[in-house]
Amino acid sequence: MKQPEILLVEDDDELRAATALALELAGLRVRARASAEEALHLTGYGFNGAVISDIRMPGMDGMTLMAKIRDHDPEIPVILVTGHADVQLAVRAMHEGAYDFVEKPFANAHLVDIASRALEMRRLVLENRVLRAAAGHPDDLEQRLTGRSAAMIDLRHRLRAVGPTDADVLIIGETGTGKEVVARAIHDLSDRAGKPFVAINCAALPEMLIESELFGHEAGAFPGAMRARFGKFELARGGTILLDEIGAMSPEVQAKLLRVIQERATTRLGANEPYSLDVRFIATSKDDLDARVAEGRFRADLLYRLNVVTLRLPPLAERREDIPMLFLRLVADAATRYRRDPVEVPPQVMAALAERSWPGNVRELRNAADRVGLGLGLEFDAARPGEAEHPETGGGTLAERMAAHEKAVIANALAANGGNLRAVYESLGLSRKALYMKIRKYGLDRRGFILDDEPE
């Protein structure tokens, strides 16, 4: 396992240098960054360390940084450094999941003590994950991409195969299906896991600034360029670049990106000398890029460069049997994140959840789970007729569509009853033998279910 480290985020140059020195003299490995944006790229599910961040910083502040880190992995310890006026804010941060906080001015020994305890906690978390995987429990990938459907099992299998390689990857999926989660998993499975993961939202970059943002620029390269600036490509050296919604790039930028991917080198605006670029590219799109190529809106040669491996993420409507299990996990995560008591979700609500269409996919389901975890309930009445939609089984014969519906009903009942088989066959009006036959018929994975005490 990689040596643990402290990721120190402080915009004040002198304080950052002094704090880093104090931590290093205490025997801790430190990586210091001047902004939250730079630091965020260095964290992920496999991050072996703890974060110390100032709360008040220009741009992204410490509270926002903590929230984004917890989105990647809620078990990364985040220590916040506050001024006297921010103590109440720090206390609120503790309720939202911060590991601890220190008030300026602080004693170096006190900060070292907190940081050491945070590193020890993180070590135990990572070791426990490894032990759980070795014992046959769901591994990191299975916890990040929850689901027992054939589509999710196949996706995890492909990720384990492609992750450790250096192949560029194209991820296709509807909004909210977890494209960035998959991209981060690929990064964490590779030898680049300890290097930056730089996510670039191609749809959000202003057209006039996109080249400067990606490639960087020298001082005087254009009006207003008062000093040289690193581009996002340069910040990711040795790591992974995620080009989110790459289809939104203009044809001109697509041409320059193609050259970067081909040559693995780039040049800052206003410079003459290129610099080498040791990175892996992952691109995502919610649209069919082949169709965009046919329409003349996307370069065919760029698509061929990017889709060395293509991963297609299934929407929730195509894996309804995963919805109850996924929802319960998201509710438990929300209750933990908001420091609330565990919430019990009634079986009839679980059944209704699995029959809804969820056009926003996992993102929409997570929002619903957050409301339940906060004790606010759902925004629809699961008992009202007409609220739940029937599963979209697509084409096929009537028999095939009925079989798909029956499979979804049984999977939902298994999850809604906590996997207890007796409760399931009694609620569905089936015999024990008939339920087992249908489980085998539809290939439902029973490893996630709880068997009752009767012999099969």
pLDDT of residue 135: 55
pLDDT of residue 17: 94
The pLDDT tens digits for 337-372 are 777 777 788 777 777 887 788 899 999 999 998 888
> Quick one: pLDDT band at residue 84, thresholds 50, 70, 90?
low
Residue 456, pLDDT > 50, answer no
pLDDT of residue 416: 66
Residue 16, pLDDT > 90, answer yes
The pLDDT tens digits for 409-452 are 787 777 766 667 777 787 787 888 888 888 888 877 655 554 44
The pLDDT tens digits for 19-48 are 999 999 999 999 999 999 888 888 877 788
Judge residue 455's burial from the number of C-beta atoms within 10 Å of its C-beta, 0-12 exposed, 13-18 middle, 19 or more buried.
exposed
> What is the mean pLDDT of the segment spanning 52-74?
88
Question: 289 to each of 71, 298, 299, how far by Cα in Å?
Answer: 28, 7, 9
Residue 390, pLDDT > 50, answer no
Residue 453, pLDDT > 60, answer no
